[in-house]
A and B are shown apart, each in its own frame.
Chain A
Amino acid sequence: QVQLQESGPGLVKPSETLSLTCSVSGDSITGYYWSWIRQPAGKGLEWIGRIYSSGSSTYKPSLKSRVTMSVDTSKNQFYLKLISVTAADTAVYYCARGLLGELLNWGQGTVVTVNS
């Protein structure tokens, strides 16, 4: 069965770039949509965006100016970059897989704190 694992720095300084990797095992990354979702402590889920295995992406409008997603099919990985971070970007970040409108498989999440 497919497994997703997020990785990246747990601490990012304000104004710098948050970079995360989602590694996919147990299935090919090809033919699926891959999303990033975040959740500040004690708050609800926020969808950041998604990328198809071909590289076509869609982002949440309010984050679009700061977000870039990419995919590397040879490594079975996809990536999130969020520039100019502030304390408001502190959250648990999840990656997830879907076929159409659903988020069927999720990673365990990784905590990212924005602090100097």
Chain B
Amino acid sequence: SFELTQPPSVSVSPGQTAKITCSGDALPKQYAYWYQQKPGQAPVLVILKDSERPSGIPERFSGSSSGTTVTLTISGVQAEDEADYYCQSADSSGIFVFGTGTKVTVL
């Protein structure tokens, strides 16, 4: 199976933009998904198929893809966005893989 690599942490001031990257060799061929997880809670899907936003997810969350890297962007970061973020993808046989996770700290 493949691996997905994320930076361990990202720090951002309120109102600024946070960018979280996820790198993996399979990403040019497979969609990526992003999840937000707050302490003590289950993950929540915030981006699907690289750049689509599920119903109910604020517009400040967006996703993009370029080659072997996908990026989750949080524009106009709010204090409530402080959380762990995980990317996820699947290989051609349907094996899912999660990224290593990124802790977003709002300063």
Contacts and interface: CB of A to CB of B under 8 A. Distances in A.
Determine if chain A interacts with chain B. Answer: yes
A60 interface: yes
A44 B95 contact: no
Contacts of B23: none
Given A35-B96, A58-B95, A60-B95, A102 B45 contact: yes
A45 B95 contact: no
Interface stretch (A7-15, A70-78, A83-91, A104-112): A104-112
B14 interface: no
**What class of interface size applies to chain B in its complex with A?**
20 to 34
B86 A103 contact: no
Interface residues of A, number: 19
Contacts of A106: 42-44
B45 A44 contact: no
A47 B86 contact: no
Contacts, number: 61
Contacts of B93: 58
Interface in B62-101: 86, 88-90, 93-101
Main secondary structure of the interface of A (DSSP, over half): loop
Interface in B1-21: 1
A34 interface: no
Given A58-B95, A60-B95, A61-B1, A103 B45 contact: yes
B86 A44 contact: yes
A37 B37 CA distance: 13
A104 B53 CA distance: 11
Given A94-B42, A101-B90, A108-B42, 10 more contacts: A44-B100, A44-B101, A45-B37, A46-B98, A58-B93, A101-B30, A102-B45, A103-B35, A104-B54, A107-B42
Interface of A: 35, 37, 44-47, 50, 58, 60-61, 94, 101-104, 106-109
26 contacts: A44-B99, A44-B100, A45-B43, A47-B88, A47-B95, A50-B96, A58-B95, A60-B96, A94-B42, A101-B30, A101-B33, A101-B88, A101-B89, A101-B90, A101-B96, A102-B33, A102-B48, A102-B49, A103-B45, A103-B88, A104-B45, A106-B42, A106-B43, A106-B44, A108-B42, A109-B42
